[in-house]
Amino acid sequence: MAALSDGNLDVRKAAVLALAPWAAAPDVAAALRDALADTDADVRAHAGKALSQR
């Protein structure tokens, strides 16, 4: 989850994708909700998709 705040957008995107299978876990869901405010549209989109599929 720490990688969600990495300076590299590719790292943040990979982190969101890696966390997606565990989106139902409260701590992961909270981190993914925070990612919805990311500066990168892809990171936001992947976070939203992960949260909608939990």
Return the structure tokens found at 5. 């705040």
The span from the CA of 39 to the CA of 24, in Å, is 24
Q: What integer pLDDT is reported at residue 54 of this predicted model? A: 79
Q: Which two tokens stand for residue 31?
A: 């981190």
How far is 44 from 33, CA to CA, in rounded Å? 9
pLDDT tens per residue across all 54 residues of the chain: 999 999 999 999 999 999 999 999 999 999 999 999 999 999 999 999 999 997
Distance CA 54, CA 51 (A): 6
Check: CB of residue 17 under 8 Å from CB of residue 23. no
pTM, entire model: 0.93
DSSP code of 39? S
